[in-house]
Amino acid sequence: MKILCAFLFAGTLCFLAQVVLDNTKLTPGHVTSLFTILGAFFGFIGLYDTFISFAGGGATIIISNFGYSLYKGAFLGFQEQGLIGLFSNILKYSSCAIAGVVLFAFVLTLIFKPKD
């Protein structure tokens, strides 16, 4: 059941992103930024934790989770250290994902050649 919930949640968000891309003049970069901001907003109002408990991996592998991770690190840093913690802990929960993306992008550029 958890796999079905994960599939439905992530599929719904992908469907919504495709609808936005098809019916507006927004670029994929705009939609990515929009979903990142929505993840942070849903974290702010306390809804993203519910998404994670409902959908599990379906809510933790998509781009909205990146926004939630940025929000979560910044908020917990602010609670612990004040304004300095807001800026020093913002990448606490997302730094591993960022490092992984950079590493995988580097490896893939060594394997594949771009089109001319």
Tens of pLDDT along 23-75? Answer: 999 999 999 999 999 999 999 999 999 999 999 888 988 899 999 999 999 99
Tens of pLDDT along 61-83? Answer: 889 999 999 999 999 999 999 88
The 8-class DSSP code of residue 61 comes to S
Q: Are 10 and 18 in contact (CB under 8 A)?
A: no
Q: Are 89 and 74 in contact (CB under 8 A)?
A: yes
Nearest Cα to Cα of residue 2 among 45, 43, 58, 63: 58
